[in-house]
Amino acid sequence: MAIKQVQDHLKRWNRDTDIIEMEASTATVAAAAAALAVAPARIAKSISLKLDDRAIVVVIAGDMKLDNRKYKDHFGIKAKMLSPEETLEATGHAVGGVCPFGLPEGVDVFLDLSMRRFDTVFPACGSSNSAIELTMDELHEYSQSKGWVDVCTQSPGTFARSD
């Protein structure tokens, strides 16, 4: 079970017991925001993408979407999302529970600057009903991120700060 991988991963920082497991689904930004009673923008959305012959995970604020031009400018290739089957195979996490923790060797994590406007965000923890509240420094450290990127644009109908 992927949540067990995440618990084992977060144990290094004594944060394994801080995972929030809910009865309600957290599989989408809207569902996670409702279950956690926070603004959708504070949900840290993990997107699985193909980069050349490998998978990467880009974590973005819940009110954002990938900007194809920015993504291509940064990574040198058009953004191509993995299918649900490819996502599970590459990350060990099913769609709805994809997160930047407990990933197999070789799956790099990048964090989008869109999240830096918040003190804390809520990424999933390997299942479709889990999350953890983390600061930006914690998210960067625990995800073993390769760095901050600017590859998003705000979704229509959202505001700059919605917490």
CATH code of the domain covering residue 39: 3.90.960.10
Residue 159 forms part of a structural domain: no
Residue 63: CB atoms within 10 Å: 24
Asked whether the predicted pLDDT for residue 147 surpasses 70, the reply is yes
Which helix (H) or strand (E) segment is 64 a member of? strand 64-66
Q: pTM of this prediction?
A: 0.91
Domain that holds residue 89: 2-153
What is the total count of domains within the chain? 1
pLDDT tens digits for range 8-39: 999 999 999 999 999 999 999 999 999 999 99
Residue 160 lies in a domain: no
Q: Give tens-digit pLDDT for 37-94.
A: 999 999 999 999 999 899 999 999 999 999 999 999 999 999 999 999 999 999 999 9
CA–CA distance, 9 with 22 (Å, rounded to integer): 20
